[in-house]
Amino acid sequence: MIRRVNRLTLFALATLSGLSWASSAEAGKPVAAPPPGCSTVTFSVTTLDCLGFYEGNLVAEDGPKLTQALGLTSGLDGDASSLLEKIEWGSGQDGNPIDFLTSLSGKTVIGIHFGGGRDGYNGTGFWLLDAPADTDKITWYSNTQSGISNAGLYLTQVPPAVPEPSTWALLLVGFAALGGAMRRLRLGNNAKVALAYKDT
């Protein structure tokens, strides 16, 4: 009986020591950090809403990554249903400010992929911004995220067309000429009516 207990005890101790060895081996492995909140990145324009971060680079022009990105961006705004523009930076560059070719205005949905840098998260975040009319650059700030490699534009409002000053001047000259012509026509008609009245 004592021998049997000793065998069970030895088996239990061996099992426990194996588990503790395995857990200490696991403890030596780096643990993947959870995705940060998207508020870890701020912008030079007002942030209305945000999503992220999502693992990997989702700023893609086609394929399943684009489909996944559009599923996310449509959650920020239903009109954000296509990739309008994509910017890429080379290795070692950090795109700040982000300068889209498209003029930004009003509700603007962007996605940014960060490579992670030293302490950051390697993933893509999405933001709904409120850009003043004719914004051409957006600056981003973060204490943790770096290594930006891609930025995508999914939605921006088209600013209303405002005529150039020369167009306004031409329009005013045209109104003045039209007014002058109508006045001459009216004066000419009055003179004919007066002559016809005198003849009778």
If asked whether residues 132 and 43 sit together in one domain, one would say: yes
If asked whether residues 54 and 26 sit together in one domain, one would say: no
Closest to 114 measured CA to CA, from 61, 35, 47, 43: 35
Quick check: is 49 in a domain? yes
Q: For residue 32, what pLDDT is reported? A: 59
Q: What is the mean pLDDT of residues 116-122?
A: 76
If asked whether residues 147 and 87 sit together in one domain, one would say: yes
Q: What is the mean pLDDT of residues 37-64?
A: 92
If asked whether residues 144 and 57 sit together in one domain, one would say: yes
If asked whether residues 43 and 115 sit together in one domain, one would say: yes
Quick check: is 12 in a domain? yes
Structural contact between residues 74 and 82, judged by C-beta atoms closer than 8 angstroms = no
Q: Binning pLDDT at 50, 70 and 90, where does residue 58 land?
A: very high
CA 79 – CA 109 distance, rounded (Å): 9
Q: Which residues contact 152 (CB under 8 A, 6 or more apart)?
A: 59, 69, 83, 85, 86, 87, 110, 111, 112
If asked whether residues 111 and 92 sit together in one domain, one would say: yes
Quick check: is 171 in a domain? no
If asked whether residues 27 and 48 sit together in one domain, one would say: no
If asked whether residues 12 and 59 sit together in one domain, one would say: no
Closest to 198 measured CA to CA, from 190, 188, 183, 186: 190
If asked whether residues 103 and 47 sit together in one domain, one would say: yes
Q: Binning pLDDT at 50, 70 and 90, where does residue 152 land?
A: very high
Quick check: is 95 in a domain? yes
Structural contact between residues 51 and 154, judged by C-beta atoms closer than 8 angstroms = no
Quick check: is 200 in a domain? no
Q: Which residues contact 34 (CB under 8 A, 6 or more apart)?
A: none
Quick check: is 193 in a domain? no
Quick check: is 192 in a domain? no
Q: Is the pLDDT of residue 109 over 50?
A: yes
Q: Is the pLDDT of residue 35 over 60?
A: yes
Quick check: is 189 in a domain? no
Domain span at residue 19 reads 1-31
If asked whether residues 112 and 136 sit together in one domain, one would say: yes
If asked whether residues 20 and 96 sit together in one domain, one would say: no
Q: What is the mean pLDDT of residues 145-157?
A: 89
Q: Which residues contact 109 (CB under 8 A, 6 or more apart)?
A: 73, 76, 77, 80, 126, 127, 128, 129, 153, 154, 155, 156
Q: For residue 47, what pLDDT is reported? A: 95
Give how many domains the chain has, as a whole number.
Answer: 2
If asked whether residues 55 and 12 sit together in one domain, one would say: no
